[in-house]
Structure 1
């Protein structure tokens, strides 16, 4: 049984190994720099736990996926969704996004945003299937331009990326 919940400090030690395992698939499509990227630092995850913006999916007590988000003035921005390869293709990422949508609705945010690789099958095409649409820069909610610039500074725009949005039902 899959259970969605806010993360606790006890979950953090399982996140980096999951992130490293899940990122290996990028190596298979020639995105070695993404596969080799360091996991999210524990200090960032600890702050996310304190801020209640890190969610996990567990199955019989085992961490299967996580979602890290940021509350922006006009949207809940998904920073990272990672599903362990052993649990991939079971809809767990979609379940996490749906669960987080409820939390965003509860704090009166009307949309979810994210940035992602445009041509990676499990990125933009996946999010399109979940109801996200590409949005032009003129439609970016407050805070997105700064996120995009930080991603450019990190080198993520070596591959085409898009900003996507989905209204919260």
Structure 2
């Protein structure tokens, strides 16, 4: 497994990984999430040009990706997707560890993300990785903005939370 910055020509592969990673949501009654379109190429390229679009390459193919951006002194994981064929092998964990190293190197104090509470590979998974749920009063202005945008997209149809993992050197 090799983690590295995505290249411009790989951005469509990130979209394909996202579509495949969405399929398991059908089994938990979240068809709209499974059918949701991945980020547009221009959005993915913005993360790539900022140096925050990482892929996992295995056997000369991209099997996962993570995009992130600084939000209020933390590195906010905007999306992490693992192709189902590469699931349950530590690929997501490795990507999050890579993002944590990036955050440490850039003086950020935590990782944050938003996720579904009742999906086994979402909030329960992140809890196992050391993330904790933030209460409403703990949300920073930037995280409130992220959550408001997600609400506009209809993601609040299902229980959803912000989570945070403090970083150590």
TM-score with structure 1 length normalisation? 0.96
CA distance in 1, matches of 2:32, 2:123: 19
Contact 1:74 1:142 in 2 (8 A): no
TM-score (norm 2): 0.96
The SS at the match of 2:29 is coil
RMSD over aligned CA atoms reads 0.9
- The one-character-per-residue Cα deviations of 1:65-120 (angstroms, maximum 9, x if unpaired) are 00011111311000111001110000100000001100111110010000000010
Deviations along 1:14-48, one digit per CA (max 9) or x if unpaired, are: 11111111101001111011011111100101111
Shift of 1:163: 0.6
TM-superposed CA distance for 1:10, in Å, is 2.1
Match in the other structure for 2:112: 113
Structure 1 residue 138: Cα displacement: 1.6
**How do 1:39-78 residues align onto structure 2 when only pairs under 5 Å count?**
39-78=38-77
Structure 1 gap ranges (5+): none
Aligned positions, number: 168
- Measure, in 2, the Cα distance between the counterparts of 1:165 and 1:100: 13
CA distance in 2, matches of 1:54, 1:106: 16
